[in-house]
Structure 1
Amino acid sequence: MKACLLSLVAALASTATAQVQGKAFGFAAGTTGGGSATPQIPSSIAQLKEWLTDSTARTIMIDRTWDFRNTEGTTSGKCCSDNRTTKCPGGTSKGQAWIQDTCDAASGTWVDCTYDNAAKTPIDINSNKSLVGVGTKGVIIGKGFHVRGGKSNVNLNPQYVWGGDAITLDGADKVWIDHVKISLIGRQFIVSG
């Protein structure tokens, strides 16, 4: 009984300490995110997407890797192999072909390609959300975030990984991005405007 009680106390303490830390300043001053909403851990990709897009104020704890790859199928077609994106002199990257409608004949050629659909459609984060990574376990793979006209959004995911444009801000206000690692993305890290 004592061991069970100690385990429960430890679990609750780790959840409580994993909430939003610090206070936003500068352009993000006054950001509330999910406010005083009880921290919750999603149980599935569907639930994570639902919580990020619904109208309820939420503090969403990310305690594992959420891998969106292969969740929305793949597309085979033509991509543009352009010297600006597929030739990386001096680097270790092989670059990548572009998924687009046109291919500049002066610098690129059409090539066959297959790509994962999940990265092409970001998750539209609604207002009043805090997305908090728990330690180094908070990882999103294969999907980006889009914040459009939302207010008081907080994104505190310490291990954010790959997904189209990682974070897009479009007409949003009071967005606080803190302790976020962005890597292996399909295009741009943060897009605004």
Structure 2
Amino acid sequence: MRTRPPRTHARRSALAAAVAAAATVAVLALPQQAGAAESSPVGFGAGTTGGGSASAVTVSTLSAFKSAVAGSTAKVVKVSGTIPLSGQVDIGANTTVLGVGSSSGFTGGGLRLKNVGNVVLRNLNISKAVGTDAITVQGSTKVWIDHNSLSSDRDHGKDYYDGLLDITHASDYVTVSWNTFKDHYKGSLAGHSDSNASEDTGHLRVTYHHNWFNNVNSRIPSLRFGTGHFYDNYVVGADTAVHSRMGAQMLVENNVFRSTKVAVTTNRDSETDGYANLRGNDLGGATTEISQSGSFTSPPYGYSAEAASSVASSVTAGAGAGKI
């Protein structure tokens, strides 16, 4: 009878490495669960790291928060509980702001990123920012806004609150993913004015994916001059959703629209129309107003768009604070 030679240390190491490699391949082959949080942004905001691996500091008061987010050194700031605001707090460069648990964040005001780079905002509840935006991104690059819950109410006039998320003044390379936008008139504006072409042209590259817009009247989003990729989003109860204007290029892909009047328009409100290409969407009876299709059909980054048939279930299960 043949006897098996004893396993040497080298053979055992080789076997262990082979098993580990096979396990890694198996894990990589598994599909991502619906709503599973990415560890880094997909889309135009790819490469945004915020505070990276800096030691986190946890704050629960406005004064501590303002101090913690100031400056441009790498920092991770965790917000515990709900902090009342009036107006906005400026966030410094190279910052991650992360809500603790499912209900931490801000009410009454919002956050502003002005002329900064490399900022991550995640897992925050921001509600009822009176007279201002819940989040303003102004003149800033490399931004990731992920798994936040942004809301107000529609009991007041449309200008009582401003936008839930406005991206302006040549901001660039932004990803907006897995957020909820709820009970609001003006959802997300990218490019604030028809007369700002000299500053905005060549910028305002924004990806929106897996967001849930629920009872938001319009600007889902409204984009001027820039390049927008809007995929795998769930829109419910809008008057006018995606609005491409002033020569903006939009790719609108595999989204679901329900109880929405106009899903996509390129020819409203501005003197110059925008461009839009549509593919794989479930319009749910909504109309479209496409005066011109554009040249933006292939985003310059890797991504995987799930079919529209599964978008509503994955987005409602996975979007918003408390889902990471």
Q: Into which bin does the TM-score normalised by the smaller protein fall?
A: 0.5 to 0.7
Among 141, 148, 171, the residue aligned to 2:114: 148
Structure 1 segment 86-165 matched on structure 2, within 5 A? 118-119=86-87, 122-163=88-129, 164-165=132-133
CA drift at 1:136: 1.0
Compare relative contact order (CA 8 Å, sep 6+) and give the higher one, 1 or 2.
1
Q: Percent identity?
A: 32
Of 10, 24, 29 in structure 1, the residue corresponding to residue 41 of structure 2 is: 24
State the partner residue of 2:63.
46
5+ unaligned residues in a row in structure 2: which ranges? Answer: 1-36, 154-160, 169-324
Unaligned runs of 5+ residues in structure 1 are 1-19, 69-117
Q: Is the 8 A contact 1:64 1:139 kept in 2?
A: yes
> What corresponds to 1:93 in structure 2?
none
CA contact (8 A) 1:62 1:137 kept: no
Deviation at 1:34, TM superposition (A): 0.6
8 Å Cα contact 1:147/1:172 also seen in 2: yes
User: What is the TM-score when the length of structure 1 is the normalising length?
Assistant: 0.59
Instruction: State the distance in 2 between where 1:52 and 1:29 align.
Output: 22
Preserved contact between residue 40 and residue 49 of structure 2 (Cα < 8 Å): no
Give the corresponding residue for 1:105: none
The one-letter amino acid paired with 1:140 is F
Q: Which residue of 1 aligns with 2:223?
A: none
TM-score normalised to structure 2 length: 0.36
Give runs of ≥4 in structure 1 deviating > 4 Å.
none
- Asked if structure 1 preserves the Cα contact closer than 8 Å seen for 2:126 and 2:150, the reply is yes
Measure the CA separation in 2 of the matches of 1:59 and 1:161.
22
Structure 1: how far apart are the matches of 2:146 and 2:82? 19
Residue equivalent to 1:180:
148
Partner of 2:189: none
Residues 53 and 123 in structure 1, CA contact (< 8 A), matched pair in contact too: no
Matched, 1:65 2:54: no
CA distance in 2, matches of 1:62, 1:43: 6
Report which of the two has the higher share of strand.
Answer: 2
What value does the CA root-mean-square deviation take over the aligned residues? Answer: 1.8
SS at 2:137's partner residue? strand
